[in-house]
Structure 1
Amino acid sequence: MKPADYAEGPGVVGRSRRAELVFGRGGGRSALMRQIAPYPFHVTRPFALDAARSDLATLYLQSASGGIYRGDRLDLSLEVRAGAAAHVTSQAATVVHDTGAERARQSTRIVVGPDAFAALTLDPLILFPGAALTVETAIEIADGALAILIDGVAWHDFTGEGRPFGSLVTETTVHDPAGRLLLADRSSITGEELSAASGLLGPERGAYGSALLLGVAERLPDPAAIEDALDALGCHAASSPLPNGAGLGVRMVAANGGRITAGVEAIFAIAVEAMLGFTPARRRK
């Protein structure tokens, strides 16, 4: 007998899990007020890593299962309430295994309250041959709030035969609390389109990443500074304003996931300095 929260059907077995994290402010600091983290999700206790902003809580979100598998439905809800400040990051890259006939799905919902700061910075997804994944992210950001969302993707054939992953479908939306759409970003790509010698990114590039830096223009970093920092790390990057004054968008491509990870860390550091006025401590992993 299989657990009731497994999704089943003809030839389909997968996990359906939902994690929930709610941060609030009290007593001069940001605290994790609500936590639901069923397997395969696992979280550490929140850390205060920055002497300049001891109220900024940093939490590591971990996977206890070795990756994402066929038919998985993994959902994360992250809420940072008014005046609170929270950074959620992953402990390492996440492997997406061969999903066969049933693609996996990963969804994230982020709600950022008035005058709050929220950051979700994720190490790259590593797409193995045959991996098919849909990633959906929805962000609601209130007036006066600041938010950072950074992630990346790499692909790897552990047999060395150059087999491609299946496909990756992504959708990211940003709304204000009234429901007005500020940004919609959608993409769909197959492994064959990226892995071939004449692929879209070229034969020497095996990873890419993106960032959304959300907030009013005067609290955002200089796009040129981001591009220069990423170029120095071996990430070819470009940044531009987002529609409806939502913030700043960044795209980067690189030879491998390790360089994208370095790029994620660099963007986070530059964005925090602009948004909060200090250089954050390195989030060791």
Structure 2
Amino acid sequence: MKPADYASGEAAAGRHRRAELVFARGGGRSALIRQVSPYPFHTTRPFALDRARPDLATLYLQSASGGIYRGDVLDLALTVKDGAAAHVTSQAATVVHDTGAARARQTTEMTVGAGAFGALTLDPLILFPGAELAAKTTLRLGEGALAILADGVAWHDFAGQDRPFRSLTAKVAVHGPDGRLLVLDRSTVDGADLIGPSSLLGAGMAAYGSAMLLGPAEMLPSADALEQALESVGCRAGASPLPNGAGIGVRMLAANGGRIATGVETIFNLGVEAMLGFAPARRRK
């Protein structure tokens, strides 16, 4: 996405940075063959954490700044080439600060090649009072590709006055091997609607999350298994089939961002076990 795609003045108000990560299979492993990580992006080296699948590379994506600020435009391009297997996760939650008159934007373009496995599982965004963020994710799947997308949102007023974030707009589009649009998920929420006894989420709920597990139904965990596992870690959850046989979608509610982070980890574990046939090692943070 180019700066011209944004409203006049928004991109100019903050940083516009684009990170690129490309994984390819070679020598029985998945290697990071291209890495562009401008500030504030920072990446670790890939880790082979799973004895059962040493070809699965895990990389931690970090922020070298204190979060997302006014007018920031942060883009990530993630490619997992044919036959490779890669998991990209964050090191911790990301704070979105008061963005004033220039909302921040975050875009992700993810491509998972033929016969490849790609997972992008992120710790929750923490929206501070006055924060406004527009997030867009586009995922393109090759023939026989398997993918997991999972993330979450929580909010916090450091002054303890229940001041709301301004708004969060999210869009996720999933395209199949022929380029056809399989799934389009859009949402917009105002922070004021999530504060106090009249919150849209219900009493005691101060965070939410979502996930998509993409692939043939026979290679995915069941909706019941996902819901039961998430309930056991403190998330109120619902799972159901996605349109066009694309996979399973999950929604979660929880009392705080920590439980959503645990829910994201739970979804990844169940997804990997069903898709790749083994229980993954814990991704320590």
Residues 10 and 103 of structure 2 are in contact (CA less than 8 Å); yes or no, is this contact kept in structure 1? no
Q: CA deviation at 1:9?
A: 4.0
Moved more, 268-277 or 170-179: 170-179
Q: Residues of 2 paired with 1:198 and 1:76: CA distance?
A: 36
Q: In 1, Cα distance between the equivalents of 2:179 and 2:113?
A: 14
Q: Which amino acid aligns with 2:91?
A: Q
Q: After the TM superposition, which residues 1-285 of structure 1 pair with which residues of structure 2 at under 5 Å, given as runs? A: 9=9, 13-285=13-285
The residue number in structure 1 matching 2:4 is none
Residue 3 of structure 1 corresponds to which residue in structure 2? none
Mean CA deviation greater in 173-182 or 123-132: 173-182
Per the alignment, in what secondary structure is the counterpart of residue 274 of structure 1? helix
Q: CA deviation at 1:225?
A: 1.0
Q: Secondary structure at the match of 1:259?
A: helix
CA distance change for structure 1 residues 8 and 17 in 2, over 3 Å: closer, same or farther?
farther
Say whether the 8 Å CA contact 1:12–1:102 is kept in structure 2: no
Task: Identify if the C-alpha distance between structure 1 residues 83 and 194 changes in structure 2 by more than 3 Å, giving closer, same or farther.
Answer: same
Give the letter aligned to residue 247 of structure 1. Answer: G
Partners in 2 of 1:204 and 1:71 — Cα distance?
32
Shift of 1:32: 0.2
Inter-CA distance 100–92: structure 2 relative to 1 (3 Å threshold)? same
In the alignment, structure 2 segments of 5+ residues that lack a partner are 1-6
Write the distance in 1 (CA, Å) between the matches of 2:76 and 2:239.
Answer: 27
| Per-residue CA distance 1:181-232 (angstroms, 9 max, x = gap) | 1000000010001113211002310000000000011100011111111111
How many residue pairs were aligned? 279
TM-score scaled by structure 1?
A: 0.96
- Report if the CA contact (8 A) 2:10-2:71 is conserved: no
Alignment root-mean-square deviation, CA: 1.4
- Give deviations 1:78-101, integer Å, cap 9, x for gaps: 000000000000000000000001
Shift of 1:281: 0.3
Comparing 188-197 and 75-84, the one that deviates more: 188-197
How far residue 266 of structure 1 moved from its aligned partner, in angstroms, is 0.6
Q: Secondary structure at the match of 1:52?
A: coil
- For structure 1, list consecutive stretches of 5 or more residues without a partner in the other structure: 1-6
80-89 or 226-235: bigger deviation = 226-235
Shift of 1:12: 5.8
Provide the rounded CA distance (Å) in 2 between the counterparts of 1:10 and 1:123: 26
1:4 equivalent in structure 2: none
SS of 1:53's equivalent in the other structure is coil
User: Structure 1 CA distance, aligned partners of 2:232 and 2:258?
Assistant: 14
TM-score (normalizing by structure 2): 0.96
Letter in structure 2 aligned against 1:119: A
